[in-house]
A and B are shown apart, each in its own frame.
Chain A
Amino acid sequence: MKFLDEYRDEALARRLADRIARATTRPWTLMEVCGGQTHAIVRFGIDRLLPPEIELVHGPGCPVCVTPIEIIDRALELAAQPRTALCTFGDMARVPGSGSDLLGCRAEGGDVRIVYSPLDAVEMAAAEPEREFVFLAVGFETTAPANAMAVLQARRRGLRNFSLLVAHVLVPPAMEAILSAPDHRVQGFLAAGHVCTVTGWADYHAIARTHRVPIVVTGFEPVDVLQGVAMCVEQLEAGRYTVENQYRRSARPEGNRAARATVDEVFEVADRRWRGIGVLPRSGLRIRPELGDFDAERRFGPVHCDEEAESPCIAGRILRGRAKPDACPAFGTTCTPEHPLGAPMVSSEGACSAYLRYRGTAGPSDATESARP
């Protein structure tokens, strides 16, 4: 398939790995911001092609992982109410709230509907006017335009039974937070190509300059990721720290103007709590007051995000690139995809789940389980 196969080419991948090895003279720690990149790295074994000096640490770019538990609990409450349907992307369906998850809620009779697009939820709301439809609007800047458009289309169609439970977050404040921690290890970023396709990277220049880190806007296929690493390492080795674009076929400096305008029409920037990280100022989106009819928190009451309880889960450190999943004592033992303690074990792009799925550990795939000689 065009635009996929070319970027999964073994020979090209090996040549890029050689280029990285030639450029590398000392250890460097890079963070791939996006969980989609983490997924590709472990699925294709991209990191195993890299020289030992290059360490990839996994960033916070997994909306499933950073959505506060209180939002999930609210979604569960709403789904359990009569005459209310909770619509969600499949990703969120297995994320544990304080008690159950959305699939468990559905098994108990809650109306949980898994959709591919937020517009599917708009269609459902139009088809069943007597029922309330709440769409769990998670995601980063890439998903915000689609969710904003769902609100505009619902308004145009005069729907009174459609709203968003918003947990939208923004990438640059998270990058700032990671770099502002005194003990951070990140020396360069592979920025998220699809986020930047929407937003461009005007906000990234100041981060690169202030923190003296190269930032390479990077795609999601193996050749993309390897080229992003090569460009980042070459900057580091040359003592440069600018914003560069590896994902030129889709991402442009100014981003997607039409998409950004739609986001601005519906959402405004707000403080947000990130699960495992804490409250980051101006790090998320909320629905503008004039569109309050489409804000589930206005219709059903605000969600209060409290301080997080103590947990053996080290998701917060993993999401900030301070630890890798296999450093967690619970990893693969008390914390598994079947019984996750933290969100990174749930989402297929969560670093913990990706490690367990593609790496294998002292877990079920080990010899201890084979009964036969």
Chain B
Amino acid sequence: MSGPTPFEDCPAPAPPQRILLGHGGGGSLTRSLYERVFAPAFANPLLDARHDGAVFDLPAGRAALTTDAYVVRPLEFPGGDLGRMAICGTANDLAMCGARPLHLSASFVLEEGLEIAVLERLVASMAGAAREAGVEIVTGDTKVVERGSGDGVFITTSGVGVVEHTLPIGPGAARPGDAVLLSGDVGRHGAAIMASREALGLDTDLRTDCALLWPAVDALLAADLPVACLRDLTRGGLATALVEIARDAGVALAVDERQIAVSNPVRGLCELIGLDPLYVANEGRFLCIVPEARAEDALRALRACPVSANAVRIGHVTASPAGRVTLKSAIGSERVLHLQTGEQLPRIC
């Protein structure tokens, strides 16, 4: 070759590697981000219609609607990432209403400077989780905030589901004598997140328990079990979910700590930094309250699903004092469970 042709000095601008404020401006950058990242990953007829919203028919039954905002640091962690959490969390909230998840919306707040490759990974993870859940992301939005005003990515997902039965699932349906079932061991998600933060200098094989719960709920409903209440364990851990149910239902709960499984790495981390595993976050565990007479049937149905293969009975509902959760400790003595105060901090004392 003899020399540069005139046009090689003036190449077309390469697509940006990082999020710019203009990606949220509604103009051509916004459109190119949509075409490049979101459209190929989430492709489905309702989304591809490019309307202001999605218009669809609901199957017969009652509809359930839920919404949640997702933030986490680091954005990617062992066994999961923010994208997967944003799908599983909202689909799980629908499942806890006894609703089969149908459609989701996704709204992104991106921080200026975020690597687009990171966003692409999160979006691919969302698309994978959505396929797994059998749902479609049918509408969405993107905004960009200045560098320093966000934590990389915030995602809000809302979900619509259909309730195909007549059970009034909720805390109000729990009755004294009912059995309290737990779908598996606790604390994995929070422990995996804490362990992945550099500041603690920990090396573990801990992975989040982040998972879709609808298959387990579907199994309970398919077995025609009169499920009273479902509650997924999230930020405040098992203890918080129990206290909330007791308060919302106006009943008392008696729970046996010795039935609650905590894996060794979760225990090790909790001992090391002084946390109570009952207050550590989960993303793939739930509580199920059923009449005592059907508790064994419910356990059998749950154990047939991979996500709840280690389900156990941890206690029962009692009439009073309303709002109180008592826990039988490892040595068989009793204590009362409370809501935690503020964030959990590593302690030395």
Contact = CB atoms under 8 A, between A and B. Distances in A.
Report if A and B associate in a common complex: yes
Interface in B311-349: 320-325, 329-336, 338-339, 341-342, 345-349
A373 B248 CA distance: 9
Contacts of B246: 370
A359 B331 contact: no
B273 interface: yes
Interface string A82-114: 000000011101100000000100000000001
Contacts of A359: 335-336
B338 A357 contact: yes
Nearest to A359: B336
A329 B268 CA distance: 38
A222 B349 contact: no
A43 B335 contact: yes
Contacts of B347: 89-91, 347-349
B267 interface: yes
A303 interface: no
Contacts, number: 133
A44 B273 contact: no
Contacts of A120: 199, 201
B250 interface: yes
Contacts of B293: none
Nearest to A226: B331
B247 A89 contact: no
Interface residues of B, number: 42
A356 B276 CA distance: 15
Given A337-B341, A365-B324, A1 B331 contact: no
Contacts of A9: 331
Contacts of B324: 360, 365-366
Contact of A116 (B199, B331, B349): B199
A45 B256 CA distance: 13
Nearest to B258: A10
B200 interface: yes
Interface string B225-259: 00000000000000000010011111000000010
Given A222-B330, A369-B323, A360 B338 contact: yes
B35 interface: no
Interface string A343-373: 0000111000000111110001111011111
B79 interface: no
Interface residues of A, number: 51
Contacts of A91: 345, 347-349
Nearest to A143: B348
Interface string A1-22: 1001000111001100000000
A44 B329 contact: yes
B323 A370 contact: yes
A290 interface: no
Contact of A42 (B267, B335, B345): B335
Interface string A48-89: 110000000000001110000000000000000000000001
Contacts of A338: 341-342
B201 A46 contact: no
Contacts of A369: 247, 323
B323 A367 contact: yes
A370 B250 contact: yes
Given A91-B348, A360-B324, A372-B172, A10 B338 contact: no
Interface centre among B200, B276, B321, B335 (most CB of A within 10 A): B335
Interface in B263-285: 264, 267-268, 271, 273-274, 276
Interface string B169-192: 001100000000000000000000
A214 interface: no
A188 interface: no
Contacts of A42: 335
A348 B274 contact: yes
A284 interface: no
Interface in A256-272: none
B337 to A, nearest CB: 8
Given A94-B342, A120-B201, A365 B336 contact: yes
A62 B330 contact: no
Interface string B280-322: 0000000000000000000000000000000000000000111
A367 B320 contact: yes
A325 interface: no
Contacts of B271: 1, 4
Nearest to B271: A4
Contacts of B330: 8, 10, 44, 222
Contact of B331 (A44, A114, A364, A372): A44
Contacts of A94: 341-342, 345
19 contacts: A1-B267, A36-B349, A43-B276, A43-B329, A45-B335, A48-B333, A49-B331, A89-B348, A114-B345, A143-B348, A222-B331, A349-B347, A356-B338, A365-B323, A365-B336, A365-B338, A366-B323, A367-B323, A370-B323
Given A48-B334, A89-B346, 15 more contacts: A1-B268, A14-B331, A36-B349, A44-B331, A90-B348, A94-B341, A114-B345, A349-B347, A358-B335, A359-B335, A365-B324, A370-B322, A371-B248, A372-B171, A372-B250
Interface of A: 1, 4, 8-10, 13-14, 35-36, 42-46, 48-49, 62-64, 89-91, 93-94, 103, 114-116, 120, 139, 143, 222, 337-338, 347-349, 356-360, 364-367, 369-373
Interface of B: 171-172, 199-201, 243, 246-250, 258, 264, 267-268, 271, 273-274, 276, 320-325, 329-336, 338-339, 341-342, 345-349
